[in-house]
Structure 1
Amino acid sequence: MTVNSPEELAKLLERVDYLADEGVATAAFLALRMQRPLFCEGEPGTGKTSLAVSLAKALDLPLIRLQCHEGIDAAQALYEWDFPRQLLHLRALEAGSETLDVNAAEQSLYTERFLLARPLLRALTASPCVLLVDEIDRADDEFEAFLLELLDENAVTIPEFGEIRAAQPPLVILTSNRTREVHDALKRRCLYHWLEHPDLSREVAILRRRLPGIGERLATQVAVAVRRLRDLELLKPPGIAESLDWSQALLTLDRDELDAETAARTLGAVLKYTEDMERVRAKLDALLA
């Protein structure tokens, strides 16, 4: 799909219920047109992962997601050989031939049939696509260096198989919650955007778009309360997902406004630590004033 401007991309994203501000729409448009990875940082819950998911929907492209974690390595992210099937294949060859050609047998073991493609390899072979490298800050330095090389070349060489190169570079979205600093070498390869929590009017619009049954008054009350919660320096400040969960909980209870009693009963939808809940309960009246 050809997109001619950030405004056009914002409209496409809006059709799939992602309300992008001008900065997000511009960053995503540039990444798409310049064929550069987009590195998104921000607090948890600001819509970084949702941006990649929504871009895939809006552009009608497959989404391939690599969830990073401590200790992730190239084998988990790129490819592995299916050793059990290779062993069965070798035994079948041995059983079916009295004079086994060792070289031919070895070559037959390293074919696409036995190649287990992990997310990064699938992104190279399924292009065009959207590749989401989620929470890159959880991976270690070695994996970051490996990813850097792959993003530079949009290709990988498998020793037993040969080179695999993307016919068209995937649209790569990398996200980070900034639990550690990502190296400058990786950032230099990417366009960069810091995602903020939405302003009040945008958050209300998101709630009303995603939850058609919610009224203007309740959506505004939830958005105002959540913004105040974010200012309390909680262990886990609520993001958009928590705003939606809280609103959904209130709708499930048939509430059309947010009062202190209902808020106290439903705090588990928006706060995830008992310390945060205890702190907020002591301030509910002020938060909802």
Structure 2
Amino acid sequence: MNIESPDKLVELLDRHAYLADEGLATAAFLALRMGRPLFLEGDAGVGKTELAKALAGLLKAPLIRLQCYEGIDAAQALYDWDFARQLLHLKAAEAGGVHDVGRLEAEVYDRRFLIARPLLQAIETQPSVLLVDEVDRADDEFEAFLLEVLSDFTISIPELGTVKASTPPVVVVTSNRTREVHDALKRRCLYHWLEHPDFDREVAILLRKVPGCGEQLALQVAKAAERLRAADLVKPPGIAETIDWTQALLTLGARDLDPDLAARTLGAALKYREDVQAVVSNGLLA
């Protein structure tokens, strides 16, 4: 798809229910045009993952997600052999009287027994959008491995040979900044810090994302979220939480943000007991 400008990308993302500001649209546009991974950093719930989903939608490409976590290694990101099926194949061959060791070895390491994990899936799928989510949860060794793969989108499988992407996937890497990601990986990418949306944008997002939400409720929830983010909370609400909060209020029949109902549904927006207690005791919902 030929996207002529950041403004055009804003328009296309809007059609997929993602309201991007000028800075984010410019970073995403450049990443698409330059063929570079887009590194999005910011608080949880500000829309990093949703951007990857919206890009996949507008590009009509599958979204392939690599969820990072502590202890993830190359095998869990690249590929694995289906040992159970390989063993069944060997037993079937033995039962059928096949004893040619060379033939069996070649068969057992056939491509049909290979389980493609997200990185290999993205390299073999054209076009595709690869989301490397929460890379800050992985360790340094995995970061170094990821940097190598993102450099040339080539994977070596000893039993089968080299697999190289004919068309590299669009790559979005996200981080919640629970730790600092090494500069080497960031240098490979185009970097953008994703802020919480401003007031007007948050209202527009709520009206778009929450069916049945009236302007009055959207304005009041966005204003309350603004106050909560200004408070000294363990985890201020992101846009994902304000959407959940609005949906919870609508489910209970609210048409405006009544302080009592807001307090009773606060668990949709805040996820720490200390935060809920601080908000209620300080009258931040009044």
Q: Fold match, TM over 0.5?
A: yes
What does residue 231 of structure 1 align with?
A: 230
For the residues of structure 1 that align with 2:209 and 2:28, how far apart are their CA atoms? 22
Runs of 4+ in 1 over 2 A off after TM superposition: none
Matches within 5 A, 1:29-44: 29-44=29-44
Matches within 5 A, 1:71-86: 71-86=71-86
Cα drift, residue 287 of structure 1: 4.1
CA RMSD of aligned residues (A): 1.1
For the residues of structure 2 that align with 1:87 and 1:251, how far apart are their CA atoms? 54
For the residues of structure 2 that align with 1:281 and 1:198, how far apart are their CA atoms? 24
For the residues of structure 2 that align with 1:275 and 1:72, how far apart are their CA atoms? 31
For the residues of structure 2 that align with 1:57 and 1:30, how far apart are their CA atoms? 18
For the residues of structure 2 that align with 1:173 and 1:250, how far apart are their CA atoms? 33
For the residues of structure 2 that align with 1:273 and 1:178, how far apart are their CA atoms? 19
Cα drift, residue 283 of structure 1: 2.3
Name the aligned partner's letter for residue 168 of structure 2: P
Cα drift, residue 253 of structure 1: 1.6
Cα drift, residue 101 of structure 1: 1.6
Cα drift, residue 95 of structure 1: 2.0
Cα drift, residue 31 of structure 1: 0.7
What does residue 280 of structure 2 align with?
A: 281
Matches within 5 A, 1:179-190: 179-190=178-189
What does residue 152 of structure 2 align with?
A: 153
Matches within 5 A, 1:1-289: 1-97=1-97, 100-284=99-283, 286-288=284-286
| Greater displacement, 37-46 / 255-264 | 255-264
Q: Report the number of matched residues.
A: 286
- Percent identical across equivalent pairs? 65
For the residues of structure 2 that align with 1:158 and 1:2, how far apart are their CA atoms? 34
Deviations 1:212-244 (A, max 9, x none): 311111101100100110111211110011111
Name the aligned partner's letter for residue 247 of structure 1: T
| TM-score (normalised: structure 1) | 0.97
Please state whether the residue corresponding to 2:237 is helix, strand or coil: coil
Cα drift, residue 273 of structure 1: 1.2
Please state whether the residue corresponding to 1:39 is helix, strand or coil: strand
Name the aligned partner's letter for residue 115 of structure 1: L
